[in-house]
Amino acid sequence: MSDKRFYGLQAPLTVRTAALATGAALVHGNDTLNLRDVAALEMAGSDEITFARGARHLKGLSSLSAGLCFCTKDLKDTLIALGTQAVAVCPRPDEAFNTLASQLVLPRQAHFTETSISPDAHLGKNVQIGAGACIGPDAHIGDGSIIGPSAVIGPGCVLGQYCVIGAGAVIGFTIMGDAVDIRPGAVLGEAGLGVVSGELGIVSTAHFGIVHLGDAVRIGANSTVDRAVFGQTRIGARSKLDNLVQISHNVQIGDDCVLASFCGIAGSSILGNDVMMGGRAGVADHIKVGTGVRIAAAAAVMKNIPAGEVWGGHPARPLRRYMREQIALRDLAAKKGASE
Amino acid sequence: MSDKRFYGLQAPLTVRTAALATGAALVHGNDTLNLRDVAALEMAGSDEITFARGARHLKGLSSLSAGLCFCTKDLKDTLIALGTQAVAVCPRPDEAFNTLASQLVLPRQAHFTETSISPDAHLGKNVQIGAGACIGPDAHIGDGSIIGPSAVIGPGCVLGQYCVIGAGAVIGFTIMGDAVDIRPGAVLGEAGLGVVSGELGIVSTAHFGIVHLGDAVRIGANSTVDRAVFGQTRIGARSKLDNLVQISHNVQIGDDCVLASFCGIAGSSILGNDVMMGGRAGVADHIKVGTGVRIAAAAAVMKNIPAGEVWGGHPARPLRRYMREQIALRDLAAKKGASE
Amino acid sequence: MSDKRFYGLQAPLTVRTAALATGAALVHGNDTLNLRDVAALEMAGSDEITFARGARHLKGLSSLSAGLCFCTKDLKDTLIALGTQAVAVCPRPDEAFNTLASQLVLPRQAHFTETSISPDAHLGKNVQIGAGACIGPDAHIGDGSIIGPSAVIGPGCVLGQYCVIGAGAVIGFTIMGDAVDIRPGAVLGEAGLGVVSGELGIVSTAHFGIVHLGDAVRIGANSTVDRAVFGQTRIGARSKLDNLVQISHNVQIGDDCVLASFCGIAGSSILGNDVMMGGRAGVADHIKVGTGVRIAAAAAVMKNIPAGEVWGGHPARPLRRYMREQIALRDLAAKKGASE
């Protein structure tokens, strides 16, 4: 279900129309069923469109209630067995979904052509707004918050009390707590990088989610936090991100984490509480990093890390192992040099 | 030849004046020849100034027609033999060229001191311009394009139809196709990093080229794409760049490429079509990456990669070899630990 | 001592009040002494508050004259012996200092709510200011300087002659020489990432320093330079930084250095003159890099590098050693493959 503060629904369409519009073959379900919204497969309700990415995507699911699911032929029986209301088969379900969903659910946008501060924005007490800042309709700015010059707060965004938004920061599709500190030039809530291959080349993946920041989160200058494809990209309370950090769609960061400059977390990865990452450390997509983990600077994390461990290297492994290996390599090369 | 939409020529100067102004020794050519413009060595015409970087720069060239070429002493005979109209010898040809060229060819600039939208800008139908955006003289904005608040479109830039320019994006010296998607904070068309050593320390290399983006290109938030020194930095149709990506001067990227966050392509490197690069992958300068290549996250590419290969590591090598080496290293360190 | 162009002092407080406010135990000194300002331990005068980070922090010091120093119990005797006027003991001296200092010394801020160019700004001759730019009170803009549209120059900043500030750049707490070139989207003078752990989780470290840029420095698009905790973050004359570079608090960069894209220098590290760093090279905190050092692209420097050396790799070591090790590793894996 998309968040109605940020997304507007178009007129609903029937399962039959959805299949026809995408050229998919309806192999199961009541074709007069009305579809109103979109959601991730495991979250989709009976009036929502979704798609299945592959057999692994279905692993571990015990029931589904999606209104219409696009899938490849091999998945249809499983989807029907799991309870999907209607199933449509096509060679590229992600493309079919992407095209249809983009027409059914529209992100709210403000172009600020006439006025920079919408008369429908809600400004708390003692809010200070810098020259040239833009605030969209239905945005809520908490008491005592400060919006820097030329910053942009998109439609529907919610800022708690005493937030500080730096000059030129661009915030969209975002809900944040109190005392959040966004440094200049940070960009929050853009659609992440995702592509869908179609007949005419690649197109960008449509996004239907938001960004959620806990109290006292700090986002450094020129850092970027993408909104989720579905649901929320989340950063927990008091977590501090340095300058030039990238947080991809659907990432979940716990409380009290510290990420130094150039850290990057790829899509859907999860960090527990109290994780510390040195500069330029990266985490690949769909990785879990446990509570209290320390990741050395310049590490490239490509596996899950259990709670409390210290990892480093490229690819990252336990830091002591990495250091032993570097010593072994040095000795190997020295021995070889000596014997030549 | 510099693109007249972006560069203005000053009064021409003679070969004699050019030599005198830089203190170079004219060793060949008609000293009354008029010089009007600048170009790369291999492209320079008979009224253009250029310079030779070194012996390797001349390798493989069969003829030249530059008006005046600055070079070191050892290259003069080759340059004359290749057909260069006039040749001037000096110890630092790049510095002589840089100084002279900066005076002969001036980048067009708009400071937007009086008005933010130039009366000489060409706006298509249904163009939407956000509060505080600036559009320079002779810029062309295609029908249906949207310019975000506080974005800047420099003089002479061309945007196709249905382009979207995010808030605070800064675009200069750029020609783009239709449906190009520039996210907030991206900066296109700045001079790249290049330095010329002179008597008084280093100075920045002057740039005389532009940026060219194909249809449906996507540039992520806070990414940067530098213009060429000569000619064009190019990104092919439908290629998608994530946030915080750096594309250096004179890079050529094919169609349908996907570059994740923190990817960087150094000067003059070439990517074929359908190249995919994981997060934080880098390509050194003057490298060729073939069609369909996959580059793993955090790879540092320092050699050409043939079409269709999959590379990773630091420095990058074929991914399977990289993985075998990591296993060998792990085993070596484990054995060593056991024997101690 | 904080720079009065950027920081305002509140009413002074006594040693007694300082101890009471933080719950620290006053173990030495005249409790009626007045405290007016803050400073780093080794620089603090008799009316200034400071703190000691640990035993290593005191190594090599021969005398101190701080007004009040917060410390842990084990350090008190040494601090008293070194001449500290008053000493207060508590379990988290950094937190006690951070809380108290933030109340005593306030950074000057301008929110630009009423006017974008302060009537108290000092503009030189032929200064050009783009649409939507903001200039704070007591800022000095030198003759012939150009401020891009939507750029922000904070209170008290000093720009020399013929500086160019790109569109949307945000400059605070910064003193710069002549002919400085700041590209669009760069952010200078923000507080760096530092955290202090307290009872309720982590909080950001307060900063009391500035940024100093020499003549003809160039800062690339979307790069970030943090101000010092105490004193100055410095970049020497003519040094050129590419796009998307991060310079952390208290870094000292010499003259004529060149840092390519994605370079990052962590807190308090020092680079000599004429250092060149390839793209994505990083230097850990508190490292010294000698004059004329060359650092290869993608290197991760974690040790001091003597003048004139060439290093590379991850972690960085002398480049020739790194290359020999890569060859040894390749041979090891090949031999192993052959024997299987």
Closest CB from C128, C222, C280 relative to B224: C222
**DSSP, res C192:** P
Does residue B236 sit in helix, strand or coil?
Answer: coil
C97 in the same domain as C191? no
**Interchain proximity A314–C315, CB inside 8 Å:** no
Question: Mean pLDDT for chain B?
Answer: 95
Closest CB from A170, A204, A264 relative to B185: A170
C261 in a domain, yes or no? yes
Q: Is C325 left (phi over 0), alpha (psi -120 to 50) or beta?
A: alpha
| Banded model confidence at residue C200, pLDDT cuts 50, 70, 90 | confident
Closest CB from C190, C314, C328 relative to A298: C314
Last residue of a domain, one of C69, C86, C107: C107
**Interchain proximity B314–C333, CB inside 8 Å:** no
Catalytic (active site) residue B314: no
Which has the closest alpha carbon to A248: A304, A296, A297, A205? A205
Shortest Cα distance, chain C CAs vs residue A223, angstroms:
10
pLDDT of B12-54, one tens digit each?
999 999 999 999 999 999 999 999 999 999 999 999 999 999 8
**Interchain proximity B218–A204, CB inside 8 Å:** yes
Strand pairing class (B25-28; C48-51): unpaired
| Banded model confidence at residue B7, pLDDT cuts 50, 70, 90 | very high
Alpha-carbon gap, residue A131 to C113, rounded angstroms: 6
| Pick from A77-81, A314-318, B176-180, C282-286: least confident | A314-318
B89 in a domain, yes or no? yes
Strand pairing class (C276-277; C258-259): parallel
- pLDDT for residue C335 is more than 90: no
Shortest Cα distance, chain C CAs vs residue A139, angstroms:
19
* Chain C neighbors of B201, CB-CB under 8 A: 216, 237-238, 255-256
pLDDT of A174-203, one tens digit each?
999 999 999 999 999 999 999 998 877 899
- pLDDT for residue C313 is more than 80: yes
Task: Check B140, B249, B286, B314 and give the catalytic one.
Answer: B249
**Interchain proximity A240–C266, CB inside 8 Å:** no
Q: Is the distance from CB of B178 to CB of B142 less than 8 angstroms?
A: yes
pLDDT value, residue C262:
98
Question: Mean pLDDT for chain C?
Answer: 95
CA B105 to chain centre: 17
CB proximity list for A199: less than 8 A, separation 6 or greater? none
A234-263: average pLDDT = 98
Alpha-carbon gap, residue B29 to A164, rounded angstroms: 65
Residue A84's CB is within 10 A of a number of other CB atoms, namely 26
Kindly state the tokens that stand for B209.
């080229």
Chains with ≥3 CB–CB distances under 8 Å to C:
A, B
| Banded model confidence at residue C340, pLDDT cuts 50, 70, 90 | low
A313 in the same domain as A188? yes
Last residue of a domain, one of B58, B91, B107: B107
Q: Is the distance from CB of A167 to CB of A148 less than 8 angstroms?
A: yes
Residue A64, domain extent: 7-107
Shortest Cα distance, chain C CAs vs residue A195, angstroms:
25
Q: Which long-range contacts (CB under 8 A, 24 or more apart) does A203-206 make?
A: A203/A95, A203/A98, A203/B216, A203/B238, A204/B181, A204/B218, A204/B240, A205/A94, A205/A98, A205/A229, A206/A98, A206/A101, A206/A102
Please tell me which residue of chain A has the smallest CA distance to C131: A132
Kindly state the tokens that stand for B246.
């750096």
A83 in a domain, yes or no? yes
| Banded model confidence at residue A340, pLDDT cuts 50, 70, 90 | low
Shortest Cα distance, chain C CAs vs residue B152, angstroms:
8
A115 phi/psi in degrees, rounded to 5: -140, 145
B181 in the same domain as B88? no
The more confidently predicted of residues A154 and C56 is A154
Please tell me which residue of chain A has the smallest CA distance to C248: A261
Alpha-carbon gap, residue B98 to B70, rounded angstroms: 10
C150-159: average pLDDT = 98
- pLDDT for residue B64 is more than 90: yes
pLDDT value, residue C337:
74
**CA distances in angstroms from C60 to B171, C63, C82, C94, C252, listed in the order given:** 52, 9, 11, 21, 21
The CATH number of the domain where B48 resides is what?
3.40.1390.10
B292 in the same domain as B181? yes
Alpha-carbon gap, residue A250 to A286, rounded angstroms: 9
Please tell me which residue of chain C has the smallest CA distance to B244: C244
pLDDT value, residue A78:
96
| Pick from A52-56, A276-280, B156-160, C136-140: least confident | A52-56
Shortest Cα distance, chain A CAs vs residue B280, angstroms:
8
Tokens 């994530």 sit on residue: B242
Strand partners, A283: A265, A301
Closest CB from C195, C244, C325 relative to A240: C195
B102 in the same domain as B15? yes
CB proximity list for A28: less than 8 A, separation 6 or greater? A76, A79, A80, A84, A86, A87
pLDDT value, residue A150:
98
Q: Which amino acid is at B268?
A: S
**Interchain proximity A333–C325, CB inside 8 Å:** yes
**Interchain proximity C332–B327, CB inside 8 Å:** no
Residue B242's CB is within 10 A of a number of other CB atoms, namely 28
CB proximity list for A265: less than 8 A, separation 6 or greater? A246, A247, A248, A251, A253, A259, A271, A282, A283
Please tell me which residue of chain C has the smallest CA distance to A313: C314
pLDDT value, residue B13:
94
C244 in a domain, yes or no? yes
Percent share of chain B, pLDDT over 90: 90
B181 in the same domain as B93? no
pLDDT value, residue A335:
85
C315 in the same domain as C199? yes
B183 in a domain, yes or no? yes
Question: Catalytic site residues of A?
Answer: 249
Which has the closest alpha carbon to B269: B259, B52, C274, B41? B259
The CATH number of the domain where C190 resides is what?
2.160.10.10
Percent share of chain A, pLDDT over 90: 91
**Interchain proximity B220–A190, CB inside 8 Å:** yes
**Interchain proximity A149–C134, CB inside 8 Å:** yes
B103 in the same domain as B240? no
Tell me the CA end-to-end span of chain A in Å, nearest whole number: 67
Alpha-carbon gap, residue A279 to A284, rounded angstroms: 15
Please compute Rg for chain C using Cα positions. Answer: 23
B178 in the same domain as B48? no
pLDDT value, residue A314:
87
B305 in a domain, yes or no? yes
A181 in a domain, yes or no? yes
C94-121: average pLDDT = 95
Q: Is the distance from CB of A10 to CB of A106 less than 8 angstroms?
A: yes
B297 in the same domain as B189? yes
| Banded model confidence at residue C314, pLDDT cuts 50, 70, 90 | confident
Alpha-carbon gap, residue A218 to A214, rounded angstroms: 10
B328 in a domain, yes or no? no
Please tell me which residue of chain B has the smallest CA distance to C127: B113
Residue A200's CB is within 10 A of a number of other CB atoms, namely 10
Which has the closest alpha carbon to C271: C285, C257, C261, C250? C257
A315 in the same domain as A180? yes
Q: Number of structural domains, chain B?
A: 2
Closest CB from C150, C242, C336 relative to B193: C242
Pick the residue of C246, C251, C262, C277 with the most A CBs within 10 A to test the interface with A by mutation.
C246
Does residue A142 sit in helix, strand or coil?
Answer: coil
| Banded model confidence at residue B199, pLDDT cuts 50, 70, 90 | confident
Burial of residue B16 (CB within 10 Å: 0-12, 13-18, 19+) is middle
B214 in the same domain as B84? no
Which has the closest alpha carbon to A179: A158, A202, A162, A157? A162
C292-309: average pLDDT = 97
Q: Is the distance from CB of A109 to CB of A137 less than 8 angstroms?
A: no
* Chain A neighbors of B238, CB-CB under 8 A: 201-203
pLDDT value, residue B340:
58
Last residue of a domain, one of B70, B89, B107: B107
C47 phi/psi in degrees, rounded to 5: -115, 25
- pLDDT for residue B246 is more than 90: yes
What does C25-38 look like in DSSP terms, one character per residue?
Answer: EEEES-TT-EE-EE
pLDDT of B79-98, one tens digit each?
999 999 999 999 999 999 99
